[in-house]
Amino acid sequence: MKRFGLMKLLFDKEGDGTGGGGGGAGSLLNTGGSNGSSTTPTAQGAQGAASGVDKSGGDPNAAGAAGATNWISALPKELQEDASLKKFTDIQGLAQSYINAQKLIGADKIPVPGKHSTEEDWKNVFQKLGLPETPDKYEVKFGEQATLDKKFIDEFKTLSHKAGILPKQAQQLADWFTQSNASAEAEIIKTREAQVAKEINDLRTEWGKAFDDKIQYANNALTKFADKETMDYFAKTGLANDVRLVKLLSGMGEQLFKEGKIADSGGTSGRLSPMEARKEANKIIGDPTHPYHVKSHPGHKAAIEEVAALFNMASEKST
């Protein structure tokens, strides 16, 4: 059957697949290029999506950077060049920063003084932080064991206020000082007690068995000449254990007892200390006229026995 015109063209393309028809797969009108291929706009989009290349290379950071560039590029040029905006990779980060900034608006802010700030500048800062208006406004409490007078406490408050020390910090310093002071005093007392014990022990060694008698002489002299207030003072201040004072009073009491000017209220035996006994024995031996050296003297034997007793007493130790 012979065909003419468009009908002939249509049926010929359907029959042999030439001219871009492709067995009915082509378009009715050939609008392609010289190679005869052609696609519709819809087909082009599908093809591009399926075969297109990912320019980001699969790097999410690159995608984020591209996003940051996109939103910044929409701003005026003077804003684009602001370094503070470059830290934001997206609008969400910028929005969050703005919200945080808004929360700070209206809050009481304290500027940090610089190296050229005056004492008044620092004082204003400390007062905003809670520094009392005047030193006497501090409510600082020291422990009773610190044994501090009012003058020290007042000076502490004055210096704390001048240095800008806040009340809580001042109390912490007061607590530390109280503890340190108490520990120092306890150490002083311990050291003093050890020193007194050593001095008394040395005195016992020096006086030997005459120790009790010597102490009694000292007490006799103290009772004779000191009133109750003085005796209480000696006990309170520790002078009652001062070896130098005890020796002085003992010598006075013994001398007054020998002269009959003071009574032996303690019942002393008249025993000499080792040093005194040795001194007395040497005195007898050193006197050529003493009966100790004169055999014909009636008291010669008694003198020899006395010197022997004195040397025995000089070698005795206290018990």
Q: Which residue has the higher pLDDT, 189 or 106?
A: 189
Residue 218 pLDDT greater than 60, yes or no: yes
Band (pLDDT 50/70/90 cuts) for residue 317 is low
Has residue 301 been placed in a domain?
yes
Total tally of structural domains belonging to the chain: 1
Q: Which residue has the higher pLDDT, 121 or 264?
A: 121
Has residue 166 been placed in a domain?
no
| Stretch 26-54: mean pLDDT | 42
Residue 42 pLDDT greater than 70, yes or no: no
| Stretch 253-278: mean pLDDT | 72
| Stretch 175-183: mean pLDDT | 91
Report the range of poorest mean pLDDT among 83-92, 154-163, 263-272. 263-272
Has residue 305 been placed in a domain?
yes
Band (pLDDT 50/70/90 cuts) for residue 68 is low
Report the range of poorest mean pLDDT among 76-90, 161-175, 221-235, 266-280. 266-280
Residue 141 pLDDT greater than 50, yes or no: yes
Could you list the residue range(s) of the whole structural domain that residue 307 is in? 272-319
Has residue 194 been placed in a domain?
no
Has residue 299 been placed in a domain?
yes
Give the pLDDT score at 275: 78
Has residue 98 been placed in a domain?
no
Has residue 277 been placed in a domain?
yes
Average pLDDT, the chain: 75
Band (pLDDT 50/70/90 cuts) for residue 285 is confident
In percent, how much of the chain has pLDDT > 70? 70
In order of 10, 41, 241, 265, the CA distances from 213 in angstroms are: 156, 134, 16, 11
Has residue 287 been placed in a domain?
yes
